[in-house]
Amino acid sequence: SSVPRNVLGKYNAELPDQQRRELVGDLQIYSKRFLVSAELEGDVVTLYSGEANATQEMAAQEELQKLLKFYLRSSPEVISEPVPLQRHATAPADRSAPRAAASPPLLTVPLIVDPELGAGIDVECGPHGYQVVSVDDMPGQKFEPGDIIIAIAGKSLAGLEEEEQEEIFGENFEEGAVLQILKASR
């Protein structure tokens, strides 16, 4: 049975022919290594989910951005953000059918920081990143308690000591910083 393919991201990749051929070869190696699929279609690299879990997908996205940055000599332009699997609503009748264990959905959201109130979040260090303990009504965030912030501005918080997590989060803490959120299973 084939695994459903979810688009994890699309990146602009306008390159001369020679570099395109090299990139296609690198994407094949990359796809095998990260258990995902990255394909060059026209001037766009599309990253599809594969057999990777959410944490592996996060690492795959970071690595793809580094690979494209190498080829483009600048950060790749993100054309589309990941589409969480949960948006594909299933009819209530399907809920009784046994389902394969899916990895929790991954969200990409901007950090909202008010000049006076700050971000209004309380977090705790954990093995996968920052566990969200509470979110104040103001300024409000696009995530909720129980979710895990696994990366900020493309820098992973997973598997780091508390001091390292605090340092990375602090250095990248600003209005609009892109967060990768692992949704809590509800």
Per-residue confidence (pLDDT) for residue 2, from 0 to 100:
54
Q: What is the pLDDT of residues 94-130, one digit of tens each?
A: 444 444 445 557 888 999 999 999 999 999 998 889 9
Q: Does residue 92 have a pLDDT over 50?
A: no
Per-residue confidence (pLDDT) for residue 111, from 0 to 100:
94
* Range with lowest mean pLDDT among 19-23, 46-50, 128-132: 46-50
Tokens of 73: 């000599």
- pTM for the predicted model, two decimal places: 0.48
Q: Which residue has the tokens 């879990």?
A: 53
Q: What is the mean pLDDT of residues 27-34?
A: 82
Residue 27 backbone zone (phi > 0: left; psi -120 to 50: alpha; other: beta): alpha
Q: What is the pLDDT of residues 130-183, one digit of tens each?
A: 999 999 999 999 999 999 999 999 899 988 899 999 999 999 999 999 999 988
Per-residue confidence (pLDDT) for residue 91, from 0 to 100:
40
Give the rounded distance of the alpha carbon of 145 from its chain centre: 18
List the end-to-end C-alpha distance of the chain, in Å, as a whole number: 27
**Pair 45, 27: CB distance under 8 Å:** yes
